[in-house]
Structure 1
Amino acid sequence: MRQKYSLRLLSSAALAAVLMLAGAAQAATPEAKPTAAESVKFDASDAQSFSGAFLAARTADVDHDYANAIALYRKALSFDAANLEIRERLMISLFLSGDFEGGLSEAERLKDDAGVERITRIVRGLDAIRDKRFDAAKKTLAYTGPNDLDRLTHQMMMAWSDVGAGRGRQAISTIAGLKGPDWFKVFTDYHLGAMALVSGDTASARKYLTTAITNQEAVATAPDTFMRAIMALARLEAAAGNKQKALDAISVGDQMISNYAPLKALRQSIEKGEKPEQQITNAAEGAAGVLFSIGGALNRQGAEDMVGLYLQISHAMDPKSADTLILLGGIAEKMEQPQRAIELYAKVPADSPMRRISELQLGITLSDTGKVDEAKSHLKALIDSDPADIRSYIAYGSVLSEAKDYKAMAANYDKAVEMIGSVPKPGDWTVFFQRGISYERLKQFDKAEPNFRRALELNPEQPQVLNYLGYSLVDLNLNLAEGLDMIRKAVDARPDDGYIVDSLGWAYFRLGKFDEAVTELERAVQLRAGDATINDHLGDAYWRVGRKLEAVYQWNRTLISEGEDVNKEMVKEKIANGLPPLDPNATTADRGQAAPVPPAPPAPATPDKKS
């Protein structure tokens, strides 16, 4: 099926620039939905027992309502002050809420608790670095465990302690000689360059940063750290008076990640002859950068708590880091805390190169809270302020898509294509894809198809485009063989994407290959349970292979599943009377068409804050 995409400017620096498509999203609702914690608030004063306070605290904790969780954990401790589990969760909640000092106080109490030693060592060590107690920091941060990621994290922060103590050569020697998996270099090369810069060793800094920006694996593994390396090298060359070398470094970043606003701002600054200050200028900022690097690389669905913990601690150590604020804003969105996300985006300094990214993401988040008109005005103003910034059109298009204003969406992307000109870059495939979606939603497939194909010219193996165009060709009976081939390629690239697998099953159905359709649609239902369109498709396939009781069961599930565009009256008709008989004279390519075809699934929009 043509899944609904929610285009996010996302929080990762690289993803924010490229606006990668990733997964299915919910449509914006007219009013912001409260979280479970907002719906049922437990006041600490209402808890009259340890068990009551603890259970209420856990509920708030799970719902990421940290302020309430903190109050309730403290209430529970008033009944049982020696309970380590409660104090551990209190400490974590304090850090996740952004209260570093409160969390540090609890970390000192828990410094001998093996259950949270990984966290308490890090925060106590960072506190020592912040206070310039560098030898104490090294002692606290010492780690001898078997976990490679923990070993890397602690070793790099210990090295930053040496940098702070004036032992830069020792720090560089330690990290350069660090043994571990190949992916260590994604992080160590950048931090070696930053350590050399802070230590005044420009030649070594240039060597390590050059290595960092030529590491292709870094772009995929740690895009945020990669972009930091690009900008650090550009600033180094600008400071040394090597203007062209600085611009060349920025060009490397442009080739890897197009339309990245901070790079554009840095380029403009250097072209003016300015010499921008480095992002990391001391040991505390360097140690904070270690957690930023690790947190950014781990930032994916399901890891929000750990990533949020690392980034909140990093932010406390380096409050001026705008990219950390943007990452935290993205995590707040994933946790369905749009108001907190807005507050974090608003904290990005007005003179920061990251400010435009935060403004764009703030506009999309306003839409998520139900403030659609305010979001439109905000994003239109950003377009007017810099009409050449393609990301502004994508952000505005996302809001228009969720509002189902496809006519305005198409006009918006028409303007974006005009700004791109006759020679689009590979990263511009998203614009053509979204333009195609808008025209497909307007039932103007003659205009949609060329845009989908242009997107594939720019990004030939993009699974979302292959799936969308392939499904459309099959659904419209325009070119079933080509559509099926496209969908198969998409499934090969995304075998665990239930929507794409559904497309393959539906293509088989339309071709009259009902047994193959059942196989794929059963897998799609397992991958994406509770989707009305997939249940409906499986019901149709079951009916055609004679499994009529199971077909009726799936159609009944369709009526209670999520899927606003499924025609439920048509489904009820199928429950009552089944599918009409097949035309015995139909060609193979037309066999599946006797089955009523449900309306197209929800309008695809843009990447997903929930993907």
Structure 2
Amino acid sequence: MAGLALPAAAQQRPAPRPEPTQEGDQQPDATTAQAPEQEPKTPPAPLTFGLAGPYLAARMATVENNFIAAARYFVQAVAHDPEDRFLQDSALVALVSAGDIDRAVKLSDQIATEGAPTEFSGLIQRAELAHSGNWQGLLDSLDTKADGAAPEADLLDGMLSAWALLGAGRAQDALQEFEDLASGTPGVAPMVNYHLALARAMVGDYEGAETLLADPATGAHVLGFTARAEVLTQLDRRDEAVAMLDNIPGLEAEPQLLALRNRIADGEPVSFDVVKTAADGISQVFLTLSTALATSPEPEPLSLIYARLAVWLSPDTAEARLMMAQLLQDRQQFDLAEPEFEALRRMGQMRPVAELGRIDALSRADRRDEAEKAALALTAAYPDLPQAWIAQGDLLRQTEKFEQAIPAYDKAMALLDDAPQEAKWFPLYARGIALERAGQFERAEQDLLAAIELRPDQASLLNYLGYSWIDRNVNLDRGLEMIQKAVELSPDDGYIQDSLAWAYFRLGRFEEAVEPMERAIGTMSQDPLVNDHLGDIYWMVGRHREAEIQWQRALSLKPTDAGDVDPDRIRAKLERGLDAVLAEEKASGHQPQGSAPIEQPQAANAN
């Protein structure tokens, strides 16, 4: 698309989604920081007054994708310098991103009244003209022919112009404009032809619409499938519509398509309503551009702007709401995304694939309560969807509710009974973990072995069973072989290096344990368990001072009794040494599982 660009303050990329962190590894909350006390007569810092303060606050909020705060501060900044075009555009971007489009319209009108409109304020005004149905006003604002520019010079303006012509009752001109735009810009012809198909269907040319939508490059997406099925039904070709929908992979995960398919098959009335008005068509333009930008190698901030405008123009278009919700979710703005997901649920448009992504995103953001509620809602809405039960089991397992996770995995495995074997390895692995942590090792072992049979080269799976065997003093040789293979498959995985080192420790091969444990600490220096393990290994090879340093390091990382590291045991090792602690534990008969070298590994070997 030619022309439109965001101000630099609005072009910050969302931060990469963080991996789940260890409990307690929290970033400090900036809102709780206390400023040092000042003397009563000390003047405040200059940046707290005038333009600089709100501008810097707005920039920081933009970097953090805090659109509501960014909008508030940019509006304050504009009040201090109402002629700054950069600030005006930045305020508009933040307002639209935050969903406050009415205020954005007022600001864009104010900018136009002052005689210095920006390109972005012009976009907002054109969207408002479409929203109010002022088609001639929209055409006048575009004025693509008056200045001698060809309609295809700008993809966005060209499609807005075509839909505005249709809204103004000039159907033939509208269709011709779409055709000229498609032929003049071949690289985007499928995108334009999709809109041409919608326009043809709106004016009753279903044959022409079907010809365009039958091309996979034009219609092979959810809205394209929906439009084509509705068009075929208008042509009384219901059997073709049903067959087309039945051939869509994963149809069962698209409830709106499945419901449409059943209505068509049952002979129920079906109208063409993908677009009902020219405003719906322009909403689809914004949605098309939003989708293209969001799926590009470097997603653009404009994708959220276009999605917001698409929903504003056509609030009942579920695809637009879903796109907006997912873009907000990707930017970690869950409080803004949730109303959109809730709207989809009210519309009966809950999408399993999108909900699974939402559950995962909430979990990664440590919003586990919300994630669990979403998982429960998904299993209630789609009780026959195994992925929903797997997601619920994963959440319960991640929060150490292992007993509760097992029935969820059981339900998933029952639903996967007739599924391809490849689909079963992960739920078997996940259920095996839950069973092992719940103390049901016999069942866990069966699941883990079954999963390994399906995925013999899955490093984390080999590591888990191998470590579990060595931890229990069974199948020692085979367990060690599994862990060694896991290291070969994933040499940079700190957890697997830790497992190999600890397996050597348990087998009394202390010198061999040093190198893999030092590798593990190189990638997991903030993990108290790995630091504790390295301390034990150093002690056993006579490096007592280094062992004490590692134990002190483990304590500094705030281990809790609820985790895998007992801080009281570490303190005892610092006070009396590992040898004394192991002797005391052996004498008392209360030695923690897997914490000591195995005395006679050769006598315990099996398999």
TM-score range, shorter chain: 0.5 to 0.7
Question: Contact conserved, 1:542 with 1:548, CA < 8 A, in 2?
Answer: yes
One of 381, 393, 414 as aligned partner of 1:397: 393
Shift of 1:405: 1.5
The match for 1:263 is: 257
Q: Aligned partners of 1:414 and 1:324: how far apart in 2?
A: 36
The match for 1:254 is: 249
Shift of 1:411: 0.6
Question: Contact conserved, 2:494 with 2:520, CA < 8 A, in 1?
Answer: yes
| Secondary structure of the structure 2 residue equivalent to 1:254 | coil
One of 15, 20, 30 as aligned partner of 1:25: 20
Question: Contact conserved, 2:494 with 2:519, CA < 8 A, in 1?
Answer: yes
Question: Contact conserved, 1:265 with 1:353, CA < 8 A, in 2?
Answer: no
Shift of 1:79: 3.1
Look up the equivalent residue of 2:230 and give its one-letter code: R
Look up the equivalent residue of 2:306 and give its one-letter code: Y
One of 264, 267, 284 as aligned partner of 2:282: 284
Q: Aligned partners of 1:402 and 1:249: how far apart in 2?
A: 41
Q: Aligned partners of 1:40 and 1:248: how far apart in 2?
A: 65
Residue 346 (str. 1) matches residue 342 (str. 2): yes
Look up the equivalent residue of 1:81 and give its one-letter code: P
Q: Aligned partners of 1:486 and 1:60: how far apart in 2?
A: 43
One of 435, 438, 458 as aligned partner of 1:442: 438
Look up the equivalent residue of 1:285 and give its one-letter code: S
Q: Aligned partners of 1:430 and 1:245: how far apart in 2?
A: 37
Question: Contact conserved, 2:290 with 2:302, CA < 8 A, in 1?
Answer: no
Q: Aligned partners of 2:121 and 2:538: how far apart in 1?
A: 56
Question: Contact conserved, 1:288 with 1:314, CA < 8 A, in 2?
Answer: yes
The match for 1:86 is: 87
Q: Deviations over 1:51-102 (max 9, x none)?
A: 3333444444445444444333333333333344433332222011102232
Question: Contact conserved, 2:197 with 2:208, CA < 8 A, in 1?
Answer: yes
The match for 1:418 is: 414
Q: Aligned partners of 2:534 and 2:119: how far apart in 1?
A: 48
Q: Aligned partners of 2:296 and 2:145: how far apart in 1?
A: 21
Larger deviation, residues 234-243 vs 204-213: 204-213
- The equivalences for 1:319-358 within 5 A come to 319-348=315-344, 350-354=346-350
Question: Contact conserved, 1:155 with 1:175, CA < 8 A, in 2?
Answer: no
The match for 2:230 is: 235
Residue 49 (str. 1) matches residue 43 (str. 2): no
Structure 2 vs 1, CA of residues 405 and 254 (structure 1 numbering), >3 Å: closer, same or farther? same
- The equivalences for 1:43-82 within 5 A come to 48-82=49-83
The match for 2:216 is: 212
One of 464, 469, 473 as aligned partner of 2:461: 469
Q: Aligned partners of 1:199 and 1:226: how far apart in 2?
A: 22
Larger deviation, residues 350-359 vs 435-444: 350-359
| Secondary structure of the structure 1 residue equivalent to 2:392 | helix
Q: Aligned partners of 1:348 and 1:523: how far apart in 2?
A: 45
RMSD: 5.5
Question: Contact conserved, 1:237 with 1:245, CA < 8 A, in 2?
Answer: yes
Shift of 1:406: 1.4
Look up the equivalent residue of 1:406 and give its one-letter code: F
Q: Deviations over 1:77-132 (max 9, x none)?
A: 3333334443333222201110223224445667899xx96745644454455542
Shift of 1:579: 8.5
Structure 2 vs 1, CA of residues 489 and 375 (structure 1 numbering), >3 Å: closer, same or farther? closer
Shift of 1:575: 7.4
Shift of 1:388: 1.7
The match for 1:101 is: 102
Question: Contact conserved, 1:37 with 1:65, CA < 8 A, in 2?
Answer: no
Q: Aligned partners of 1:549 and 1:210: how far apart in 2?
A: 74
Shift of 1:323: 3.0
Q: Deviations over 1:191-218 (max 9, x none)?
A: 5654554465545544554443799xxx
Q: Which 5+ residue runs of structure 2 have no aligned equivalent? A: 1-16, 36-46, 166-170, 471-477, 580-593, 599-607
Structure 2 vs 1, CA of residues 78 and 538 (structure 1 numbering), >3 Å: closer, same or farther? farther
Question: Contact conserved, 1:259 with 1:391, CA < 8 A, in 2?
Answer: no
| Secondary structure of the structure 2 residue equivalent to 1:253 | coil
Q: Deviations over 1:475-526 (max 9, x none)?
A: 23444445554565567xxxxxxxx73245346645787697479647745x
Q: Deviations over 1:327-359 (max 9, x none)?
A: 433444455554433322222263443377788
| Secondary structure of the structure 1 residue equivalent to 2:99 | coil
Question: Contact conserved, 1:159 with 1:175, CA < 8 A, in 2?
Answer: no
Q: Deviations over 1:122-144 (max 9, x none)?
A: 444544555424544655799xx
Larger deviation, residues 570-579 vs 163-172: 570-579
Shift of 1:472: 0.7
Structure 2 vs 1, CA of residues 304 and 36 (structure 1 numbering), >3 Å: closer, same or farther? farther
Alignment: residue pair count: 520
Question: Contact conserved, 1:70 with 1:93, CA < 8 A, in 2?
Answer: yes
The match for 1:293 is: 291
- The equivalences for 1:468-507 within 5 A come to 468-476=460-468, 477=470, 478-485=478-485, 489=489, 501-506=493-498
TM-score, with structure 2 as normaliser: 0.65
Structure 2 vs 1, CA of residues 245 and 429 (structure 1 numbering), >3 Å: closer, same or farther? farther
Question: Contact conserved, 1:536 with 1:554, CA < 8 A, in 2?
Answer: yes
Shift of 1:414: 0.7
The match for 1:178 is: 185
Q: Highest Rg: 1 or 2?
A: 2
| Secondary structure of the structure 1 residue equivalent to 2:253 | coil
Residue 308 (str. 1) matches residue 301 (str. 2): no
The match for 1:162 is: 162
Look up the equivalent residue of 1:294 and give its one-letter code: A
Q: Deviations over 1:168-195 (max 9, x none)?
A: 2442453355355xxx688567556545
The match for 1:245 is: 240
Look up the equivalent residue of 2:286 and give its one-letter code: A
| Secondary structure of the structure 2 residue equivalent to 1:348 | helix
- The equivalences for 1:584-595 within 5 A come to none
Q: Aligned partners of 2:528 and 2:144: how far apart in 1?
A: 54
